[in-house]
Amino acid sequence: MNQGRKFIDRLISWSPVLLLGSLAALTYWLDAQIQQQPARRDGTTRHDADLFIESFRATSFDTDGRVRQSLAAKRAQHYPDDESTDFVALSMALTDPGNPRFSVTADAGTVAGDRETIVFAGNVRAVRDAAPPAPKQGAANSADGPGGPVTLTTELLRVVPKQGRAATDRAVTIEEPRGIIHGVGMELDNNARTLKLKSGVRGTLQPRPPSK
């Protein structure tokens, strides 16, 4: 009993030291957890290309086997750090059934890592083909036919193919059969068949001919 009592007394006397030691160990562990990990030296954190493809071409189809989107470039290079891909001499075409064909060409381009957005840069030229004619409902609508193609040129264009949208904050020139207009900043919705200029709009458009 005396030996047991002595052991308990000794343990009690050492308890502050044990507590401080535990706290020190816990502090060291927490500090190690929040310290930044050393930079990896295998190249994965640098924006270095890991794959090059010459004469790149990719095509996607719908469930009926019809071409929905095609992408082509003189050269493509992929970056593993953010999964983006850069292109040289990039061209794209969207051919969704029921919508006007929309195509874009540029000196260069980048597809984001999420594959949702394509940025075209340098001598960007986009063409939206004429819309298909609407069903006629009488003589009053005889003039409601497809307009001619719309061509726009700019230096930077962001395209979201799945949404059929394109936008730029740069100067843009738009040409169509009725005339030509200039502006700064543009939003295009190929599905809704709308085009909006944001500022600095100037140019000339001829009115539509009166219906017969």
Q: What is the pLDDT of residues 21-69, one digit of tens each?
A: 555 555 555 565 555 556 555 555 677 878 889 999 988 888 888 888 8
| pLDDT score recorded for residue 54 | 94
pLDDT higher than 60, residue 154: yes
Average pLDDT value for residue range 167-185: 94
* Single pTM value for the model: 0.69
Distance in angstroms between the alpha carbons of the first and the last residue of the chain: 118
For 119-131, the pLDDT digits (tens) are: 999 999 999 888 7
CA pair distance 26, 22, nearest whole angstrom? 6
pLDDT reported for residue 14:
46
Share of the chain above pLDDT 70, in %: 69
Contacts of residue 156, defined as CB under 8 A and 6 or more positions apart, other chains included, come to: 119, 120, 121, 124, 168, 169, 170
| Domains, the chain, ordered by start | 51-130+146-204 (2.60.450.10)
Q: CB within 8 A of 8, min separation 6: which ones?
A: none
β-pair partners for 175: 151, 180
At residue 77, the pLDDT reads: 93
The yes-or-no verdict on residue 4 having pLDDT over 90 is: no
Q: What is the pLDDT of residues 88-101, one digit of tens each?
A: 999 999 887 777 88
Lowest-pLDDT choice from 89-98, 139-148, 196-205: 139-148
Which one-letter amino acid corresponds to residue 7? F
- Give the span between the Cα atoms of 191 and 186, in whole angstroms: 16
Question: What pLDDT, on a 0 to 100 scale, did the predictor assign at position 34?
Answer: 55
